Structure 1
Amino acid sequence: MATQLIEPPELKRFDPRQRAAALMLALGQKYGSPIWDQLSTEEMKELSSSMAMLGRVPAAVVEHLLAQFAHDMTAMETCHGSFETTERLLAGIMPPDKVKEIMEDIRGPSGRTMWDKLSNVSESVLAGYLKNEYPQTIAVILSKLKSDHAARVLGVLPREISVDVVQRMLRMDTVQKEVLTQVEATLKTEFMANFARAQRRDPHETMAEIFNAMDRSTEETMLGALDQKAPESAERIRALMFTFEDLANLMPSAIAVIARQADKRQMALALKGAPEEIKSLFFSTMTERSAKLLREDMAGMGPVRARDCEEAQSDLVRLAKTLADTGEIVLVDPKSDDTMIM
């Protein structure tokens, strides 16, 4: 049974909304952005208003809120969340029309209309669904999307399908309202619901991403607190995190891609505080001249703050993840003998 965190006395004068505002201020833009991305416009407005009126928050309150947040996020495995349970909960605290509006929004990507929502779905995912539809249906859907997004979807669709769709779009007259209504209903029931279910994530993955973005001292403090309160969750988060030290597990070809695309000063700063194993790995992928210049840059920096080195190392990790997301490199999971594309 998890130990309850002890609340500081000062916490009592802050209501739930103020506590949420204080937490988001403490996380800041860098660490809080994954959470902001999940909020609706109205929620953002309410939270921002509370932040603006918050005033000074004692350090003990901030520390407690951060520890409670990490604890609560990793303890979510103890309950079962679904669209149905969420809808039942909301139905007990707000009017039916508001519940309907919120549930329609969270069942798919953000947007007020179906076409707004589709514009927030990646072209590869949308094309994967549309390629199994009739070309005329695809033409109707693409005609309602923004031109740049429709162009990207056409580029991903198989060539024979995309050519047929373009021809149908050229011959298309005004689409009848009944047809649009039917297409929207199909998208909502077949595509958006499945898309939302596929997008659901383990909260430990979300926390691992947040911890990855933290500076090392904050990360170690937070994980240390979780070790005491929820050791199994702390272990799962560590297993999901990809750290600077994990770069040592990458193939030399992947390191070479990172080295080519990294900001040279940031890479020099990151390697200045790196273990010799990682330094040698980076140098081994470079030409003799490039390695010599990098060593000179590192030597010319003189003494640097450990915090600056850690931030530069975090930048390299984020670059590695971005390159993996686009398929340019493959990351190796340090916890297994298999490779994974992230």
Structure 2
Amino acid sequence: MANDDEFKGLDRAAVLLLSLGEDQAAEVMKHLAPREVQRLGLAMSKLGRVSTDQAHAVMREFREKLERQTSLGLGADQFLRGALTKALGGDRANSLIERILHGGESSGLENLKWLEPRAIAELIKLEHPQVIALVLSYLESDQAGEVLHFLPPRQASEALLRLANLDGLQPGALRELNDALEETLSGESQGVQVSAMGGPKVAAEILNQLDSTQSNSIMEFLRSQDEELANKVQDQMFVFDDLINVDDRSMQTLLREISSETLILALKGANAALKEKFLGNMSKRAAEMLRDDLEAKGPVRLSEVEAAQKEILQIATRLESAGQIQLGGSSAEALVS
């Protein structure tokens, strides 16, 4: 059973929703994006037993934060826009804000976010690579990365190449794609708003979600087709070793969101300097305990290490999007073997 201070990030949100009860939790989830609902559901399913004291502690923390962040004197619409933009980032928050404030329904593209990655891959696998690239650019990076797993390697590489070259989209073309997807999914159309789609940064974010084998394979294909574009994508990529460049305050914020088990697994595959970076931003007692845990852990599978490092990178990216930390510039050299 976890101690009160072991609940971090999604776990605290999961405990809060379970404490609210089914009806109230459902009302909260109505205002979350699809992937957020999926992540919360997974966290809730993995919680195990939660004591009354633990639940009360999470509720008390939530109430205290709510009291400190009152919206009194601020217009509801203004507060909502500000809060969601800080939480999700500008691009991700826009469609959700429009649905809440203006009652818009999910579009065809938006409905894709509720599908399992395998189902999305089945839906688009016969489409032109340019269409696949457009769909991938609209999904969140972790979901797009999972979709790529279910596409043939050549098709996945071709789609990423086109996505990296993508620089916006004409509204008419976007509406046509949206309408086609709505017809396939039998959705109701209320339009879709997308400011910018694709480009090297989006391609890099998706590649960061893949395992090293698939990521390296796609990067080799990109380099064979367009070396300049491949360099732009690589410059945007952020890998685990790049956390050495994160400032101490951001590192401390990041550490508060990472579970002990995930951190132990991730650091089993880290170099000495990066380990010290993490340890140096912990209390003396916590650092000593972590050192002991690392020694006691013994050998672990490389796949487990990579999965833990990927999880930490996803947390870091989320915190940066919310404006809570700064990751700084990424290092292209981190990908050179």
* TM-score, structure 2 as length reference: 0.50
- Relative contact order (C-alpha < 8 Å, sep 6+): which is higher? 2
